[in-house]
Amino acid sequence: MKLVILIVAFVSQWMEVNSQSVAQQCLTEQIRNNNLLNNQQQVSPEGATLSAFQSICQNYPEYIQCFQTRLRGSNDLSDAFLSLLFDPRAMTVAYRGLCQDLDVIQRNIQCLLSTPQVRRCYDNFNQGVQQVIGLENQGQLPRVTLEEIACNVSVSRYQCETAVYRFCDQHAGRVMQDFFFAGVPAECRRITRVRSRYADLWGGADSVRASTSLYFVTAALMMIGLSRFV
């Protein structure tokens, strides 16, 4: 249970996600389904994070399906933001690439988990999320406009994060950049002028709905969430 406690603590601090969020449910179930909760008492933050990545990569279609099935029925605020952005096709491309390059993350995991500068990226992101949800609650903007704003908020966060990760290793920074930007559809990449090697290889989602890796509440966030400064 130590791994789950660490992840929950992180997600609550950065994303204000409660124990009932879809992201929390899907992550916990993915770990449990792959027997990751056994013998966790002595696991290091690096080992726990890599094990969680490996658990997702063993069956990321199932992981993505969990989000797709449950998001619409959730009343959680973080899920409300994610539902504006979620696109299972883009998420599939992102994880396909990340899982193939997982060895790069493994080689640099210690540095990636001890980089407190990323806190600024999440502080700014949380402010953007709150503004988007506030605009949605006002009911004055069309959904497509909210999706475009959410796309810009997410891309700004990813640019901030990858700039930090490059200080650890240029290749690791590139992998995370490709992962993040593959998770947004072609229209989002077009309006923000970002690119992903994974999307170039396998094609991103063409939906006008902006996807994100709030899988931020997923694997990407676990890298930061299990860090020593949390």
Rounded CA-CA distance 206/137 in Å is: 27
Summarize pLDDT for 4-25 with one digit per residue, the tens: 323 332 333 334 444 578 888 8
- The answer to whether position 162 is within a domain reads yes
Sequence-ordered alpha helix ranges (H) in 139-203: 143-165, 170-182, 186-192, 197-202
Summarize pLDDT for 151-194 with one digit per residue, the tens: 999 999 999 999 999 988 999 999 999 999 999 877 888 899 99
Which residue segment(s) compose the domain that 164 sits in? Answer: 2-225
Return the ∠ at Cα 177 (arms to 184 and 104), rounded to 5°: 130
Rounded CA-CA distance 145/151 in Å is: 10
- The answer to whether position 108 is within a domain reads yes
Structure tokens at 210: 């902006």
Summarize pLDDT for 112-150 with one digit per residue, the tens: 888 888 888 989 999 999 999 999 999 999 999 999 999
% of the chain surpassing 70 pLDDT: 76
- The answer to whether position 74 is within a domain reads yes
Identify residue 220 by its one-letter amino acid code: A
Mean pLDDT of all residues in 96-101: 94
Which range is least confidently modeled, 27-36, 73-82, 160-169? 27-36
Which range is least confidently modeled, 37-46, 50-59, 98-107, 112-121? 37-46
Q: What is the CA radius of gyration of the chain?
A: 16
Rounded CA-CA distance 22/82 in Å is: 10
Higher pLDDT, residue 204 or 117:
117
| DSSP element (H, E) containing 64 | helix 60-70
Q: What is the 3-state secondary structure (H, E, C) of 70-138?
A: HHHHCCCHHHHHHHHHCCHHHHHHHHHHHHHCHHHHHHHHHHHCCCCCHHHHHHHHHHHHHHHHHHHHH
- Domains in the chain, number: 1
Rounded CA-CA distance 208/128 in Å is: 20
- The answer to whether position 139 is within a domain reads yes
Q: How confident is the model at residue 39 (pLDDT cuts 50, 70, 90)?
A: low
- The answer to whether position 230 is within a domain reads no
Rounded CA-CA distance 159/162 in Å is: 5
- The answer to whether position 52 is within a domain reads yes
CA-closest candidate to residue 70, choices 28, 10, 99, 16? 28
Identify residue 138 by its one-letter amino acid code: Q
165, 115 contact by CB (below 8 A):
yes
Q: How confident is the model at residue 208 (pLDDT cuts 50, 70, 90)?
A: very low
Rounded CA-CA distance 192/185 in Å is: 11
Rounded CA-CA distance 175/100 in Å is: 10
